[in-house]
Structure 1
Amino acid sequence: MVFSSSVCIFLAIFSLHYQQQVHAVKILAVSIPSYSHVSESNAVAVELVKRGHQVKFYFPDDFDSSQCAPDIPSIRYGQNTIYHVINALDKVSELAADGKLASFSFMQTVRKAICAQIINDTTGLEKLREEKFDFAIVDYLFFVKCNLLIPYNLSIPFAGISSAIVLLDAGQPISTSVSPFVFTSYTTNMAFHERLINTVSHIMNKIATYYLLEAYDYSKIAPGLSWIELQQLSKKAEIYLENSDVVLGYPKPLMPNLIQVGGLTVKPPKPLPKNIQKFFDDAKHGVIIVSFGSIYKFNDNLRNIFMSVFQKLKQKIFWKADEEKEIGNVWITKWFSQNDALAHPNTKLIIYHCGNNGMFESFYHGVPLICIPHAADQFMNSRKLEYLKIGRFFDIVDLTEELLQECILDVLGDPKYTANIKHLSEIYRSRPETAAERAASAIEHVIKYGGKHLRLNQVDLSTFQLLAVDVWFTIFIMLIVFIKIILFILGFCKRFLQSKRKVKQN
């Protein structure tokens, strides 16, 4: 099995950490300024600090990190541009609610907003140089890449971290028949037309990244670096940490430089606040948690559909939204710890947008899901529910009272969903290391030894080589030439025999 042949190798390699003493180093964490992204990197940062290293984040001035990275110090951007990102993502959410979101527009909007901050902040980069960092952990988004300019500018090695890594960027030779592209909603079991589209998606992503996405001026922090060279910076990471897991996903062949560390934000629960604890304890028929993250905004029509269905249920509803009020069995609140709430024994279901971190938290605590995705990898995450039989999903444009109520009653009424997710949760919990420990051990390994021995000679391998497109194209041309030669020989023989017959007849 892929898990036993790849992940176990890492457990063997990185268990050497406990026999080796890695000297304390200064590590820079560069993250996309959003709660979910920072939470992933923060989990690794906290573990590295426990092991004696110094870690600092690089954040915009206006980004509030008190909820997602409270214990890790930060260096701040010199520009107050975080609101450009927030406004861009708000626009994306509005499009998603109306069913108008396209992946390419999402990529363009987010990339422009984030890169505008990074490439113009020469003051912040000067602060980073003064710190003299030894290593960087960089939040990787395959359609952004400008984060990678920071370790490039500082001339330090780095590790990439992400919930969704494009395998070709990490130098992984892949099989497009079993490795779905991140922005498709395919599972590992693909029909022919899906395999065809999936293969084209992998290739078109590289073409779009290199040639179709609008270039930006990054000469202030990387003078002389070409656009093609910028796209290839991703292949220079010492290792990649992917917030994924074979148990909550699809097995795939991996080279040793990509390590699955799914569930970075998962942790044992803390006690709930007394008023929330009482709300959950008093729920005789259980509690349904509703959470769509910190970005997604409901319009009035969607909110009314949800409220109408919830008030018909006997379960209590604990809903994270942008206000504080109670209506019947529904408690709407601005903030709560989702991980802690999921751990309560009366939690029966979560209705969610299928962001990666929350999926792992639900998975860890054995709570089935109903997912309504609206952007990025959430569509692929949603399909995993159906593939693993641990919940239901549907598109936001299909939302009706009837559909929502039918899905809720199905997941609550059919014990297979809860049984399946609890079984998979047990497998996941059986690991000897937590995801954060596994990630920190991998980083310490490459800090001490480098990562060259873990990866292919990536810089020299193009996308077409990794996909073996050049090989299959050559085989195709050779086959055509061979067929043409055979047809030529057969035609020559036919003409020769015909001429002999004519000679005999004469």
Structure 2
Amino acid sequence: MELFICFAKQIYLVWFTSLVLLGRSGDAANILMNAILGKGSHYYITEAIGEQLVNRGHNVTHLVSNAFYKQASSRQNSELFNYEVYDTAIPPEVIYQLYANMSRVAFLSPLNSQHIEVESKPHWHRYQDCQAVLDNHDLLERIRRANYSLIIYDMLWPCLPIISKMLDIPLVGIISFPNPCMETEIAGSNFNPSYVPCTGIGFTNKMTFVQRFVNTFLYAFVPWLTTDKYVWYNQLLHEHYSNDSVQLLDIVRETQLFLANSDFVADYPCALGPNVVLVGGLTSKPPQKLPPSLENFVSSSGDHGVIVCTFGSFLSSHDLFEANSKLSVFISAFARLPQKVIMQLSHEPSFPLPGNVKVLPWLPQNDLLGHPKTKAFVFPGGNNGFYEAIYHGVPTVVIPLRGDQFDVAARVTSTGIGVVVDKLTVTEDSLQHAIHQVTSTNKFANKAKKLSTIFRDRPMPPAQRAAFWIDHVIKHGGEYLQSSVHDLSRMQHILLDVLTVMFILFLVLCVLAYKCSSKVLWFLYGCVTHKHLKNS
């Protein structure tokens, strides 16, 4: 009898599971995601969202380049996804060399001519890659046949909106860097340069007069910061879409939902449209156990604990230090610390390492930051690492090298969770002093823990929140969330037409008032003169 009951339970379990799976597959949508080349932190963001979408029963396909397909498809959760691979316009070896060059100039000034030349090349390569994708008719036909319900794209590469227009597929945009207010102004968010800094300049929301002047000038007169990056792709749009009156900026404005990898726990509050959802901290999650050898090293640190030092997934640490003597500066500073240091370094240095320093080519960053022995995080200011540090309540030392890392550094100081070290003037003493400052002063750790408590007190984690809203848009559409600003011209948007009419009316009223007062004064003057003559 017991055997029969057990067998019946197994049958019921199989039947119930089948119903659940069938129910999920009936509501499943095919979703295409893209993170430019499929490399580094940008891909990790889409991967985190994609995992939650798969958990909701959807089928997720990542569009990645042949240069980084093997890297993306060999990650831990890669079996959850399908992959569409596009061939880059230039050989992968050239791309690898480009990133090596970007690493070599990272410690140079952003105004250095060599730095500017190297950093400008990816924009042109992305344009070429878009042309190659749009010319790949086999790839476009596979995308067409897949019957995708949604395209989720990184807003740094406006190529996917062209495909969405060609194939009539709705869009969801991902903003991978801080400051969502500026990027989503095209969606109706209110960007005010008096208290919202432009991207990439490292200002806080409390600016001096000079900073506000510079910020306003950049916003008003540097179109690349706002819309010019979309205008650049119009030629490709008109080559592959028959309607020449359509502009890429109009297509981007039709994006039904914007997911910003940002959170007001650390970012600067501003007015966002209802179709902008903050999902900052997509890669932050509870820590997993460390590998035994790494755990032994961390545990042996005693009460002093450990310092974690990484340089992100975008730059090569080998090339980063090859062109300068900065590695010896870092190692010498670490040797003077009472803590043990775990440093991401793709190669063993040519000189002996001090006993308190361990170098590894790859670090489980989130798991290390979540370890109770971790006392501080030394990093260049990547947005993902920033929110992982906040999630785990770890104070930071930031050495910004490029791009939005200067914005992250500004947010580190404004939130009070760490200090910034200038990459141009970093020395053994300044680095050691900065680490000592954040590890020996409780105010940094206390502030980091307070932000961690606020950040975790949410109905659902960021990746789940992103998947929920994507699922919502798939079911109901996102048109009702869009602002009517799309229907206005720039002149109407800033009320220039209204202000012009009001100014004209004001002038008319002033003229009328002048005329009336003149008449009255002349009448009074005439009365007084007449009375005086009569009396005389």
Q: TM class by shorter-chain length?
A: 0.7 to 0.9
Fraction of identical pairs, as percent: 30
2:33 is aligned, of 15, 29, 32, to: 29
Does the Cα contact within 8 Å between 1:363 and 1:425 map onto a contact in 2? yes
Partner SS, residue 168 of structure 1: helix
2:314 is aligned, of 277, 285, 295, to: 295
Mapped to 2, the partners of 1:104 and 1:170 lie a distance apart of 30
Partner of 2:10: none
Does the Cα contact within 8 Å between 2:237 and 2:248 map onto a contact in 1? no
Partner of 1:401: 428
Alignment of 1:32-431 (within 5 A): 32-33=36-37, 34-63=39-68, 64-65=71-72, 66-67=74-75, 70-71=78-79, 72-79=81-88, 81=90, 82-101=92-111, 108-121=120-133, 122=136, 123-141=138-156, 144-164=157-177, 165=180, 166-206=183-223, 215=232, 217-218=235-236, 222-224=240-242, 229-284=247-302, 285-296=304-315, 297-298=320-321, 299-324=323-348, 327-328=353-354, 329-431=356-458
Partner SS, residue 271 of structure 1: coil
Structure 1: which amino acid aligns with 2:128?
A
Mapped to 1, the partners of 2:186 and 2:61 lie a distance apart of 26
Tell me the TM-score normalized by structure 2: 0.80
With over 3 angstroms needed to count, the CA separation of the structure-2 counterparts of 1:290 and 1:361, relative to structure 1, is same
Q: After alignment, is 63-72 or 243-252 more displaced? A: 63-72
With over 3 angstroms needed to count, the CA separation of the structure-2 counterparts of 1:486 and 1:409, relative to structure 1, is farther
Mapped to 1, the partners of 2:86 and 2:198 lie a distance apart of 33
Does the Cα contact within 8 Å between 1:119 and 1:220 map onto a contact in 2? no
Mapped to 1, the partners of 2:500 and 2:200 lie a distance apart of 29
Question: Residues 209-247 of structure 1: CA distance to partner in whole angstroms, max 9, x if unpaired?
Answer: 656899465258733465981233221110000011111
Structure 2: which amino acid aligns with 1:130?
R
**Structure with larger Rg:** 2
Question: Residues 142-199 of structure 1: CA distance to partner in whole angstroms, max 9, x if unpaired?
Answer: xx42232232232200100122341223331333322222222122222333233323
Mapped to 2, the partners of 1:261 and 1:40 lie a distance apart of 10
Alignment of 1:486-505 (within 5 A): none
What are structure 1's unaligned runs of at least 5 residues? 1-19, 501-506
What are structure 2's unaligned runs of at least 5 residues? 1-22, 527-536
Q: Give the drift of 1:86.
A: 3.9
With over 3 angstroms needed to count, the CA separation of the structure-2 counterparts of 1:463 and 1:434, relative to structure 1, is farther
Q: Give the drift of 1:117.
A: 1.6
Tell me the TM-score normalized by structure 1: 0.85
Q: Give the drift of 1:485.
A: 5.7
Q: After alignment, is 58-67 or 43-52 more displaced? A: 58-67
Partner SS, residue 97 of structure 1: coil
Partner SS, residue 396 of structure 1: coil
Q: Give the drift of 1:340.
A: 0.7
Between the two proteins, the alignment pairs up a number of residues equal to 478
Alpha-carbon RMSD: 3.3
Question: Residues 361-385 of structure 1: CA distance to partner in whole angstroms, max 9, x if unpaired?
Answer: 1111111111111222111111111
Partner SS, residue 443 of structure 1: helix
Say yes or no: does 1:474 pair with 2:503.
Answer: no
Question: Residues 301-332 of structure 1: CA distance to partner in whole angstroms, max 9, x if unpaired?
Answer: 11121122111112111110221477122111
With over 3 angstroms needed to count, the CA separation of the structure-2 counterparts of 1:478 and 1:202, relative to structure 1, is farther
Does the Cα contact within 8 Å between 1:93 and 1:374 map onto a contact in 2? no
Partner SS, residue 152 of structure 2: strand
With over 3 angstroms needed to count, the CA separation of the structure-2 counterparts of 1:333 and 1:482, relative to structure 1, is farther
Does the Cα contact within 8 Å between 2:172 and 2:258 map onto a contact in 1? yes
